[in-house]
Amino acid sequence: MRLRSLTLTVPVLFLAACASPSLPSGGLEAGSSYGLFLAGQAALNDGESRRAAAYFERATRAGDTPNLISERAFTAAVLSGEIEKAAAMAPAGEGASEGVRRLGRLVMAVEAMASGQGQAAYDLLTAEEIGFPHRTATALLIPWAAAQAGDMELATRRPDVPGDKLVEYFGLLGQAHQYERVRRYDEAETDFKALTEGPDAPPLLVLAHGEFLERRGRRPEAVALYDAALATYRHDVSLARARERALARRAPPSPPTARQGAAQAILTPAAAMLAARQTQFALAYVRLALRLDPGRMDAWVMVGDLMGAAGDIEAARAAYGRVPQGHPDYAGAQSKLAWSLQGANEVEAALQTARAAAAGGDPMGLLTLADLLRTNERYAEAITPLNQLVDSSPSPDWRLLFARGAAYERMGDWPRAEADLSAALALNPDEPDILNYLAYGWIDRGERLEEALAMVQQAVDANPRSGAMVDSLGWGYYRLGQFDKAVEILERAVALEAGDPEINNHLGDAYWQVGRRDEAVFQWRRVLTLEPDARIRADAEAKLASGLGPGANGAAAQAAAEAEPPVFAR
């Protein structure tokens, strides 16, 4: 199939609560509080929270300011990671909006914990309910604040928010850690076992259980737990490293401190906010987690993702760059950094970054390098990392075989491409992309046409709005000599993807064969306006120049064949 990039953009949603006082008109000069406010708002809208925080802070110092400016200054400080400053300016008066007051109490509690004041944090979290949307985060934080305050009876109480699955699940994880901290090992193990039952337990929970077993000196059980998880999460670097550590009898990580446990607790609702596309809340929570535990590299990666989605590319790159080489998240962070550079058209820097990430053999790093090389049409170079990925697995993933087959095809090495695509199809016989890609290879070469047509029809049935797949079907009928049927289907394909030069070229050929010569010429001329590759351009230009139309022995076909080997992009 034709491969296209997919860009996912997440809108930046404004965090402050709804009922805020409006700004009076006037006073918009650069040094006024309102001018600074507008500059800060523009920076916040652009995703540049650190610059916004600076403007808002200056606005609050410029004279008497309404609550709205103070709230925005607080919000921007949180989003930029200046939690100590945000806690000091958290709006708490009657004029503050309820939503910002709630976030302010959460921020002050986190700052108290970051400063070692567990009792103050506990009091802030429990004095009165911190309602929506911070109920989950508050419930998960309370036991860790109690633990820091030294009240282990309160710390070992499992939080309960009826109907909240996150609190139910991750409250159990927190309780397991707290039980271990007070040496109630049997109760801790009961919780850990409940969390990791079944083959699809998330790696985070498997790692927590396995590390507990390692600390208890039960390394064989830990290895068995990691092995079971790796059967599902085959390429998870953290699980693989934990297994290697347990086999080598190296010391496992210590149980989480109160600050580390609190950071994990607040990352849980952060992930939920991100999934719900509440991106500013998610960023605020991740920043709070990093105030508690700056060594959480997965949190730095999340910051990078969020800042990149907000449009602050420099901040995103800085966050990805915080992950040190050798850390399990390093390859993932470098991969994201590489794609950021690619998106900015810094191709060589992107490839250099990807090569560094792949140097240690990390699967994600290798896959990123292969994908970037293919994106930049350096297919021969992409084969090397793809070979490493395929050869390192006893049962190769069909996606890797498909990717390598596509790279071989783009290089003009059809026998190897056919072998990989056939192997991928054997592993996943109903996958439309493989069906289409392999079948089109046969169709374009005039081979196994009846079989190929049936395969493409199956792909089209699964994806009836794919212009590339509908084009393959129409081209199959063309190769079989059923030109009227080909015209009907290729017109559908052009309607679906009007700007595709190959589909337009195919339709021109079909028009020619049914005697619609003027329409054929129109299509070939249109092809030349659609930035075709060299082969398609040569084919269209030759047909227009010769007036002979398409044909295996015609001048157009001969010119196209001499231009470069046949390569398709399904």
Positive or negative, the Cα torsion across 28, 32, 36, 37?
Answer: negative
pLDDT at residue 23 is higher than 90: no
> What is the C-alpha separation between 376 and 351, in angstroms, rounded?
10
Average pLDDT over residues 280-286: 93
User: Per-residue pLDDT for 509 more than 90?
Assistant: yes
Tens of pLDDT along 305-342?
998 888 888 889 999 999 998 888 898 899 999 999 99
Written as six digits, the tokens of 66 are: 């309404």
Give the containing element (helix H, strand E) for 508. helix 501-513
Dist. CA 274–CA 277, nearest whole Å = 5
Confidence of residue 385 (pLDDT cuts 50, 70, 90): very high
What SS3 string covers 243-268? HHHHHCCCCCCCCCCHHHHHHHHHHH
Q: Provide the phi-psi class of 562: left if phi over 0, else alpha when psi is between -120 and 50, else beta.
A: alpha
The pLDDT tens digits for 455-482 are: 999 999 999 999 999 999 999 999 999 9
Pick the CATH number of 436-563 from 2.40.100.10, 1.10.3720.10, 1.25.40.10, 1.10.274.10: 1.25.40.10
Q: What percent of the chain has pLDDT over 70?
A: 84
On the CB side of 562, CA atoms within 13 Å amount to 8
Taking a C-beta distance cutoff of 8 angstroms, is the pair 398, 431 a contact?
yes
Contacting residues for 31 by C-beta, under 8 A, at least 6 apart:
62
pLDDT above 90 for 280: no
Q: CA 314, CA 291: separation in Å to the nearest integer?
A: 21
Do 432 and 463 contact (CB within 8 A), yes or no? Answer: yes
Fold of 133-276: 1.25.40
Distance in angstroms (rounded) separating the CA atoms of residues 69 and 191 = 46
Task: Give the C-alpha separation, 544 to 442, whole Å.
Answer: 27
Going by pLDDT thresholds of 50, 70 and 90, the confidence category of residue 83 is very high
User: pLDDT band at residue 57, thresholds of 50, 70 and 90?
Assistant: low
Percent of the chain with pLDDT over 90: 69
551 has pLDDT over 90: no
Question: What does the alpha-carbon distance between residue 113 and residue 292 come to, in Å, rounded to a whole number?
Answer: 7
pLDDT surpassing 90 at residue 33? no
Arithmetic mean of pLDDT over the chain: 86
Mark 157-194 as b/e (b = at least 16 C-beta within 10 Å): eebeeeebebbeebbbbbbbbbbbbeebeeebbebbee
For residue 53, the model assigns a pLDDT of 62
Top mean-pLDDT range of 43-57, 90-104, 288-302: 288-302
Fold of 33-132: 1.25.40
Looking at residue 532, what is its pLDDT?
A: 94
pLDDT in tens, 392-445: 887 888 999 999 999 999 999 999 999 999 999 999 999 999 999 999 999 999
Mean pLDDT along residues 284-298 = 96
Domain with CATH 1.25.40.10 in the chain: 436-563
> Which has the closest alpha carbon to 406: 428, 431, 426, 433?
433
Confidence of residue 40 (pLDDT cuts 50, 70, 90): low
pLDDT score of 2: 43
Average pLDDT over residues 199-204: 90
Q: Are 125 and 153 in contact (CB under 8 A)?
A: no
* pLDDT attached to residue 8: 26
Q: Which pLDDT band, with edges at 50, 70 and 90, does 568 fall under?
A: very low
